[in-house]
Amino acid sequence: MKPQFKTLDQFIIEKQADFPNAKGELSRLLRDLGIAAKVVNREINRAGLAGVLGETDCVNIQGECQQRLDVYANEQFITALKRGSECSAVVSEENDEPVIFDSPLPGKGSYIVAIDPLDGSSNIDVNVGVGTIFSIYRRVNSSAIKPHDLLQDGNQQVAAGYVIYGSSTMLVYTTGNGVNGFTLDPFLGEFCLSYPDMMIPDQGRIYSVNEGNYNRFPESVKQYIRYCQEEDQPTGRPYSSRYIGSLVADFHRNLIKGGIFIYPPMIGAPNGKLRLVYECNPMAMIIEQAGGVASDGQTRILDLEVRGLHQRSALFIGSKAMVKKAMEMIELYSEVYQS
């Protein structure tokens, strides 16, 4: 698709008209996220030369060893959001507790940001695509930050997006009025509109799941994988199996080409492994705005009750027809799924 050479900043300002009661705070917040993404992108591109590859000695609340670039990306996004003053608190995968900015300027700090600063960071050492996922909520309480400010359900999001750092760097986001993608022009140093009004095909030919965990999957998911592998020309099967191990990269490919991404509940992880607040909810908002579907296998992702900042969830997300078929399998094998 031919780029329109409209920068992210220009696009955001034009779209302010979609929020007649807004005063530009959300636009400035989105620009702050875009600036931080450029800084992180620069460091990723020179990671092998800058000596920032590999693990730190720290473990995050998920029990995962933090990569050096996890820590760097987390610091850059938090710093950018604090300086911008439109954000009053950040919930991050890399922090046990929310980061609350004590003294927002008068009339500022209207938003809460949930973020996975560097999704798939363990892939950086082998030069595989990684990304940033973010979610934005409007602050509920006007005085001190309260738990209900931080534990809002996904259907309360005012914006969501991701950045994918790969062969080219793209920022994709929605404010509830469609999905648009911007590619970073390395010469201009600007994100330029390259994928306007993104829509996922209703039917795809790609399924993305870590089949190394196959024996731990519920019977319904095993049956769906077998269905994907069966020969049936009228439906385009067998489907192609594509799994990168980075949610952003797998999601982005399927968004463009059509497909389904699955991270199911399984033995050892009965609630799934992905984080609801800063992974599943933002991706669910994006996919629904692009005409797709997101479910935990039984409930629409955006309708799930958020009970904790690092709450986990299963995820079935992608093309409408493919997710619908997976849900039919789950219903058919519901007793096995629930056991």
Known binding positions for Mg(2+): 93, 116, 118-119, 279
Give the length of the chain: 339
Paired tokens of 57 = 């000695």
Binding residues: 93, 116, 118-122, 210, 243, 273, 279
Dihedral (Cα; 19, 21, 25, 28), 10-degree rounding: 30
How many Cβ atoms from other residues are within 10 Å of residue 230's Cβ?
10
Spatial contact of 163 and 37, defined as CB atoms under 8 Å apart: yes
Which residue ranges are tagged as binding site for substrate?
119-122, 210, 243, 273
* Residue 253: both structure tokens together: 């490919």
Give Cα separations from 55 to 40, 117, 261, 281 (angstroms).
17, 15, 27, 28
Q: Report the DSSP pairing between strands 111-119 and 157-165.
A: unpaired
Q: Is the peptide bond before 201 cis (omega within 30 degrees of 0)?
A: no
